[in-house]
Amino acid sequence: VRPVRLADYRPPDYLVDTVHLDIALDGAATRVVATLAVRPNPKGRSGAALELDGDALTFVRAEIDGAAPAPETYAAASDGFTLHRPPQRPFVLTIETRLDPASNTQLMGLYRTASCTCTQCEAEGFRRITYFLDRPDVLAVYTTRIEADKAEAPVLLANGNRIEAGDLPGGRHYAVWHDPFPKPSYLFAMVAGDLAHVADEFVTASGRRVRLEIHVEPGKEGRCAYAMDALKRSMRWDEEAFGREYDLDVFMIVAVSDFNMGAMENKGLNVFNDKYVLASPETATDLDYANIEAIIAHEYFHNWTGNRITCRDWFQLCLKEGLTVFRDQEFSSDQRSRAVKRIIDVRNLRSQQFAEDAGPLAHPVRPELYNEINNFYTATVYEKGAEVVRMLKALIGDAAFRAGMDLYFRRHDGEAVTIEDFIACFAETGGRDLGQFMLWYRQSGTPEVKATGQWDAKTRTYRLELAQTIPPTPGQPSKEPMVIPVRLGLVGASGDLPLRLAGRPFDGIVALTEPSRTYVFEGVRERPVPSLLRGFSAPVKLVHELEEADLLTLFERDSDPFNRWQAAQSYATGLILRAVRKPDLPIDARFVAAIGTFLDDARRDPAFAALTLTLPSETDIAREIGVNVDPDAIFAGRQALRGAIGRALHGQLMRLREELAGAGPYSPDAAGAGRRALRNAALYLACGSGRAEVLAAVARQFAAADNMTDRHAALSILTLSDVPEAEPALQSFYERYRDDPLVIDKWLMVQAQIPTTGTLDRVKRLMGHPAFSIGNPNRVRALIGAFCSGNPTQFNRADGEGFRFLAAVVLDIDGKNPQLAARLVSALRSWRSLEPVRREHAGAALRGLAEAPSLSRDVSDIVGRALA
């Protein structure tokens, strides 16, 4: 396979102005007639052949301006259609193909899911529907006619507005949809099936009425209310925060049960994984609700950042994804608690993106080469991409950032653009050169910022030295210094000290641009504790050796909530690391006492308190250790800290839980979710005591819960604690929800994460359970994904069985759904940091995969890079 390179980008030789698609659904003989208005691109090579992309297509016929071309003038294969000498003027190309949606197990292109036939075209799925210039810089106006059996598919949807519909002979019917906004092929969508829907209306800021529809499997209408509410809040927020109004008469969401991704932002017709639409208190947790809110917002926000302005090529993926993640994070922050949202996002960034950046799959936010674009929908492109936008805002300020966004929308509406085009807008409104800032898009690896400081009592100054290094990553042995915004303050006995820097009042942020730099703060009257990287102002690893007493100062007094949380995490991380190295030492009682004091006040901000009480994960600790990782030792060290807290504080924890007990019926709002999160975090820690009355309380909560959050939390505590109460609870959970696949996913997931040696056999057994299906991505992720990525001790078993299991499953899935298979392999992205025995087994499993015959491009790309 030849890699695709950013440096090789060329404008297309031809453009397509309009597309008429006529799709007649008819099982294995589904017919697609595409009528394309083609013209030579003035920016392309004149006289070049027209080479349309195709993938697994069955060609039937072609016409140019209504006449069949001579056979020697074109070539049609399953993977492409070429016109050797196309007319050098506008012409109409008609091509007919045949498809079988039911046999499409890749879930790319046109495929069958339980309730309907639907499409997924990003990144390169449109070429599985018809031959096309399937690249994001070819923007066309689409008209789509769908025809189907009326009983089988009473609902026919496509992008845009419906302009015509009617009945046909033989029990068939049709609908015609027109989308007036030029769009790239990856945003095409159609859906046909037996769907029910709920409808609502939104009136835009300028007074236009927009019809909103959420389409679901019949019987699931009652679970759409939260998604609809989130959609309306998203539409309002984008008007208020970014001045962006919706532009069509109708906005539709369709929930489907077989979907590779979370959701897809097709123009006017978003297709969603049903997991991110359907929710009721009985079936969805608070986390599910928060995810639904965020993903509904994310896809809606793409209408401007992605659809109206799209990417010139797939290397620019972060142009739409990083920016849109930033926008959905801002939305959730405004809807909920900003500090809590920031902590959750940073936890996720560190566990996913930092891990990716530290291993063989590291790549820049804007990669410069790919073998398979589907493998670049990564934490780096999405989450680090969002951090880069956040840093841009911090560096140029809120007003210049908003002005830059306005300029971007004004200047590039209707275009397919690059990161350079985007950044140029902010260079203009911020009045500064952003050349060095562009390194955030080009250099991979997580920068390390080392801080050392010294207070001088005589001169009342504090000298802070910040030094940056960026580790080598694949293809990038050496790096240039980046521009790193560091928010900071100095904390004294009664809070933040007023500071001066270089003779001026300090505004709370410095931009480190050199390899190292010393800042001398003036007017510092007492010995301060520096609070650095407030709000996690840059996606870097901060190395700052603080005494435990100083960590406690920050934990208790920092004005920055993120750093209060960080101080507790850093303290706990240090304790777990010590317990890993010296298992016989007792746990530091000062930390436990500080947690006890904190509990007295925890009710003031329950959501924040819950995060503070959540111990660093095993993966967090593994990342800190970095080399020769032994997951069993980490597990034991973390349990030691949990046990010490539980034994010392179980009474207080259980009282807090009691005091927070629910008032009134379940509501998924942030306040209620925060209370439940704190109650369940307290219960988890208390359970570390191993006391019978705590376990009994968990079992009671499981049985009596009136919502899925509490029931699921109890089930998870029971299974993680490996107690006899777990089995009957699992049994009763299954009986209760056996007909509800999305809930059964939770049942599969908690079992996959049990940290004991029987789990691998249990997972293998569950693969044969009627509730499991290897063809459904949600089931696969719930069972196999959770085992490989969410059960560090059992996946990384010292005998290598976990790795061999993954390799076997990947080979099986690869034949059906390469995208899904490749995702699973990335569970091995940190394999080189394991201790030698496990590392050898993991390497052998990867090498075994590499040698397998007929591996997909998706899997061989990941395996190849992991082994490189």
- The C-alpha atoms of residue 185 and residue 336 are separated, in whole angstroms, by 36
CA distance 34 to 54: 13
Question: Is residue 147 part of the contact set for ligand DPP (CB under 6 A)?
Answer: no
The Cα–Cα gap between 293 and 303 comes to 16
Nearer to ligand DPP, 261 or 483 (CB): 261
558 binds ligand DPP (CB under 6 A): no
Given ligand DPP, Zn ion, none, residue 569, with its beta carbon under 5 to 8 Å by kind, binds none
Pick the closer one to ligand DPP by CB: 263 or 405.
263
Where are any strands of DSSP class E within 194-318?
196-203, 209-216, 250-256, 263-264, 269-273, 310-311
Length of the chain counted residue by residue: 868
Residues 310-369 that bind Zn ion (CB under 5 A): 321, 324
Residue number with CB closer to ligand DPP (314 or 805) = 314
Instruction: Decide if residue 265 touches ligand DPP (CB under 6 A).
Output: yes
DSSP 284: -
With contacts defined by CB under 6 A, how many residues of the chain interact with ligand DPP? 9
Compute the least distance from the CB of residue 298 to Zn ion, in Å.
Answer: 6
**Which two structure tokens, joined as six digits, stand for 10?**
């060329």
- Cβ contact 125:4 at 8 Å: no
Q: What is the DSSP letter of 49?
A: -
Minimum gap (Å) between residue 261 Cβ and Zn ion: 9
383 binds ligand DPP, rule: CB under 6 A: no
Q: Is 466 in the site for ligand DPP (CB under 6 A)?
A: no
DSSP characters over 440-456: HHH--S--EEEEEEEEE
Judged by beta carbon distances under 5 to 8 A according to partner kind, the member of ligand DPP, Zn ion, none in contact with residue 473 is: none
Choose among Zn ion, ligand DPP, none what residue 263 binds, the Cβ cut-off being 5 to 8 Å by kind: ligand DPP
CB of 823 to ligand DPP, least distance (A): 13
Q: How far is the CB of 125 from ligand DPP (least distance, A)?
A: 11
Phi and psi at 138, nearest 5°, equal: -110, 105
> Is 319 one of the binding residues for ligand DPP (CB under 6 A)?
no
Closer to ligand DPP by CB, 385 or 792: give it: 385
Nearer to ligand DPP, 217 or 321 (CB): 321
Q: Which of 22, 286, 299, 313 binds ligand DPP (CB under 6 A)?
A: 299
Tokens of 327: 């926008």
DSSP state of 67: B
Q: Which residue has the tokens 């009994």?
A: 696
Q: How far is the CB of 275 from Zn ion (least distance, A)?
A: 16
Of residues 122, 265, 299, 387, which has the active-site annotation?
299
The answer to whether residue 835 is catalytic is no
| Segment contacting ligand DPP by CB under 6 A, of 145-153, 217-225, 297-305, 517-525 | 297-305
Query: What is the helix (H) or strand (E) element at residue 23, kind and residue range?
Result: strand 14-24
Asked if 203 and 266 touch (Cβ cutoff 8 Å), the reply is no
* Rounded least distance, CB 321 to Zn ion, Å: 5
Query: Least Å distance between CB 858 and ligand DPP?
Result: 16
Site stretch for ligand DPP (CB under 6 A), options 260-268, 490-498, 598-606, 645-653: 260-268
Report the residue number, 118 or 449, with the smaller CB distance to ligand DPP. 118
Residue with nearest beta carbon to ligand DPP: 264
Q: What is the DSSP letter of 805?
A: H
Cβ of residue 327: shortest distance to ligand DPP, in angstroms? Answer: 12
Q: Which is nearer to ligand DPP, 265 or 861 (CB)?
A: 265
By CB under 6 A, residue 261 contacts ligand DPP: yes
**What distance in Å separates the CA atoms of residue 435 and residue 388, rounded to the nearest whole number?**
14
| Angle formed by the axes of helices 606-613 and 338-348, nearest 10° | 30
Q: Which among 239-247, 295-303, 588-596, 717-725 is the span making contact with ligand DPP, rule CB under 6 A?
A: 295-303
Among residues 179 and 321, whose Cβ is nearest to Zn ion?
321
- How many angstroms separate the CA atoms of 436 and 434, rounded? 6
How far apart are alpha carbons 103 and 560 in whole angstroms? 54
The stretch near ligand DPP (CB under 6 A) out of 215-223, 262-270, 628-636, 799-807 is: 262-270
Residue 323 interacts with ligand DPP (CB under 6 A): yes or no: no
SS3 per-residue string spanning 526-594: CCCEEEECHHHCCCCEEECCCCHHHHHHHHHHCCCHHHHHHHHHHHHHHHHHHHHHCCCCCCCHHHHHH
Asked if 263 interacts with ligand DPP (CB under 6 A), we say yes
Q: Work out what residue 858 binds among ligand DPP, Zn ion, none; the CB cut-off runs from 5 to 8 Å by kind.
A: none
Least distance (Å) from Zn ion to the CB of residue 203? 26
Contact 52, 130 (CB under 8 A): no
Q: What is the dihedral of CA 87, 89, 92, 95, to 10 degrees?
A: 40
The whole-angstrom separation of Cα 564 and Cα 559 is 8
Q: Is 264 in the site for ligand DPP (CB under 6 A)?
A: yes
CB of 139 to ligand DPP, least distance (A): 17
Report the candidate in 616, 586, 486 with the shortest Cα–Cα distance to residue 542. Answer: 486
Residue 345's binding partner among ligand DPP, Zn ion, none (Cβ under 5 to 8 angstroms by kind) is: none
Neighbours of 629 (CB within 10 A): 25
CB-wise, 122 or 387, nearer to ligand DPP? Answer: 122
274 is a contact residue toward ligand DPP (CB under 6 A):
no
Site string for Zn ion, 265-304 (x = CB under 5 A): ----------------------------------------
Nearer to ligand DPP, 189 or 572 (CB): 189
The backbone torsions φ and ψ at residue 207, rounded to the nearest 5 degrees and listed phi first, read 90, 10
Q: Write down the least CB distance from residue 709 to ligand DPP, Å.
A: 26
Q: Which of residues 63-82 bind ligand DPP (CB under 6 A)?
A: none
Integer Cα distance of 807 and 847 in angstroms = 10
Q: Give residue 1's identity as a one-letter amino acid code.
A: V
234 binds, among Zn ion, ligand DPP, none (CB under 5 to 8 A by kind): none
Give the type of residue at 549. A
# chain residues binding Zn ion, by CB under 5 A: 2
Instruction: Give CB contacts under 8 A, 24+ apart, made by 220-223.
Output: 220/196, 220/255, 220/274, 220/278, 221/196, 221/197, 222/280, 223/277, 223/278, 223/279, 223/280, 223/283, 223/284
| Range 105-124, binding ligand DPP (CB under 6 A) | 122
Complex with ligand DPP: residue 186 or 437, whichever CB lies closer: 186
Whether the CB-CB separation of 510 and 486 falls below 8 Å is answered with yes
- Torsion sign, CA atoms 86, 87, 90, 91: negative
Q: Which is nearer to ligand DPP, 307 or 553 (CB)?
A: 307
Binding string, residues 87-116; x marks residues near Zn ion by CB under 5 A? ------------------------------
From the list Zn ion, ligand DPP, none, which binds 261 (C-beta under 5 to 8 Å, kind-based)? ligand DPP
Cβ closest to Zn ion, residue 173 vs residue 366: 366
Dihedral sign, Cα of residue 713, residue 716, residue 721, residue 725: positive
CB 262 to Zn ion: min, Å:
8
- Please state, in angstroms and rounded to a whole number, the distance separating the CA atoms of residues 455 and 527: 6
Longest dimension (CA), the chain: 95
Coil, strand or helix: which one is 38? Answer: strand
Residue 799 is given by DSSP the state T
- Give the binding site for ligand DPP (CB under 6 A): 122, 261, 263-265, 298-299, 302, 321
- Give the binding site for Zn ion (CB under 5 A): 321, 324
The residues annotated with a catalytic role in the active site are: 299
